[in-house]
Structure 1
Amino acid sequence: MTATTHRSLEVSATSISEPVQNPLFKGNLSPTLRTFMDEPATPTAHVRILDAIKHEHRELQTHIHKILISTSADEQTRYQNQLTWELARHLIGEELIVYPALVKHVKNGRAIATGGRSEHQDLKEQLKMFQGLRSTDPRFIPTLKALRGDLENHVRKEEDQDFARLEVTISKEDSEALTRSLGRMKTFLPSRSHPLAPSKPPFETAVGLLTAPIDIVADLFRKWPHPGEDSRGNVSALR
């Protein structure tokens, strides 16, 4: 089998490469399994952590936009699963990799991390509700819009204050190392929201490693956006 091709995504002044889905894999193959099959996106080794986080935030916003503008219940379900998969891993990844760095390097970092985890808990609970709704449920869109509102506020605070302070405190090399650690860690994280799970390492790490295989098996039976489908669209930024 030939190697999976890559395409570049521009984030601020830095480029992040993301694997293009191999057209040989079609149907309900979940993003979780594609993660293991695709080649590593090696250029992310030179991306600073704030740029990487901003890139993930834009991806989340795009999935939400896709759901809101779609008139197809099937497409909404596919992007509901995609959003859940991305956001669940994003939140835990920040808690395991970025928040400990805040505590270590930023003045009052422990208080900042505690506040961030509290906001994450609210988002996890909203995501838990949203991931369990059918796209035809009258609560589907209102629940998503409520989640979007809280996510926008959280993202704005992270990008303008919390993670911006971390970025100017640590070296370029340390920032890029955080990005690499985040990428590696997300491979093993749960793909659904589990708000009752611990939100601090090492217990969050242990519970995540136990929960992730269960989520991966369940993902096999879920619908996903079709491989190769452009999910980005022309949308405004989250902030």
Structure 2
Amino acid sequence: MNAISLLTQDHRNVEALFKRFEATDDPKEKRSITDKVIEQLSVHAELEEQFFYPAVMAKVDGSGKDDVLEGIEEHHLAKVALWELERLPATAPNFDAKFKVLSENILHHVEEEEADGGIFADARKALKANELEELGDRMQAARTTVPSRPHPLAPPTPPINRLLGLPVAVLDRAVNTGKGLLRAVLPGAR
């Protein structure tokens, strides 16, 4: 699968979750949607930071490199918000506001990446079609081996993020499973 197509599909999936969040007033449903957003955005950011951004960075200069660096910084801010949302009860007075700020920032990030002069356009110019396909295949294969929870203090660039990625991913998935079991036994648990 083409790397840009894979990332664009991730964008559409998260946008759909944002709309579902806006359409409900039920705190349990908001928590469930937020948990999905946290997991999907965490995986998406890791795939971009471990694979897509380095591939683009190696082939572009000037504004293309600036686009990558800006993307990394936007990811960092998103990870902080995701980390906070992960710990905040859906009934907290600022939960909806924090989610709204996150969604607005993500939608801005998506718009920039997909714009005519954005990083996806940079990648289409800098990488050959077969390179984008191979990159997308590697990203898809790595989807289950990258962290699935936000780690705002973790390094965002290779090689450290790749070295830490798999052990952290295993721990993240264990935590996600434990949270699911806890919520099944104790409704209302975060």
Q: Same fold (TM over 0.5)?
A: yes
How far did residue 133 of structure 1 move? 1.3
User: Which position in structure 1 is the counterpart of 2:184?
Assistant: none
Paired positions, count: 178
SS in 1 for 2:156: coil
User: Which position in structure 2 is the counterpart of 1:206?
Assistant: 163
Post-superposition Cα deviations, 1:176-216, rounded to whole Å, max 9, x if no partner, equal 11111111122111111010011111101122222112211
User: Which position in structure 2 is the counterpart of 1:90?
Assistant: 44
> Counterparts of 1:206 and 1:68 in 2: how far apart (Å)?
37
SS in 2 for 1:220: helix
> Counterparts of 1:166 and 1:71 in 2: how far apart (Å)?
40
Tell me which of 82, 88, 99 is aligned to 1:127.
82
Greater helix fraction, Structure 1 or Structure 2: 2
User: Which position in structure 1 is the counterpart of 2:59?
Assistant: 105
Indicate conservation of the 8 Å contact 2:11/2:110, yes or no.
yes
Tell me which of 157, 181, 191 is aligned to 2:138.
181
Tell me which of 43, 52, 56 is aligned to 2:10.
56
> Counterparts of 2:127 and 2:56 in 1: how far apart (Å)?
10
Indicate conservation of the 8 Å contact 1:112/1:162, yes or no.
yes
> Counterparts of 1:113 and 1:165 in 2: how far apart (Å)?
10
- How large is the Cα RMSD of the aligned pairs? 1.6
Post-superposition Cα deviations, 1:128-162, rounded to whole Å, max 9, x if no partner, equal 11121111111111001000111111111111111
Greater strand fraction, Structure 1 or Structure 2: 1
Q: Which moved more, 1:85-94 or 1:104-113?
A: 104-113
User: Which position in structure 2 is the counterpart of 1:114?
Assistant: 69
Aligned pairs for 1:117-156 (under 5 A) are: 117-156=72-111
TM-score, with length taken from structure 2: 0.87
Q: Moved runs in structure 1, 4+ residues, more than 3 A?
A: none
> Counterparts of 1:221 and 1:102 in 2: how far apart (Å)?
37
Indicate conservation of the 8 Å contact 1:77/1:223, yes or no.
no
How far did residue 112 of structure 1 move? 2.7
Please tell me the residue identity of whatever aligns with 1:133.
L
Indicate conservation of the 8 Å contact 2:56/2:126, yes or no.
no
Identity over aligned pairs, percent: 26
TM-score, with length taken from structure 1: 0.70
- In structure 1, runs of 5+ residues without a counterpart are 1-46, 225-239
Indicate conservation of the 8 Å contact 2:56/2:127, yes or no.
no
> Counterparts of 1:187 and 1:194 in 2: how far apart (Å)?
16
Q: Which moved more, 1:192-201 or 1:164-173?
A: 164-173
Please tell me the residue identity of whatever aligns with 1:181.
R
Indicate conservation of the 8 Å contact 2:145/2:169, yes or no.
yes
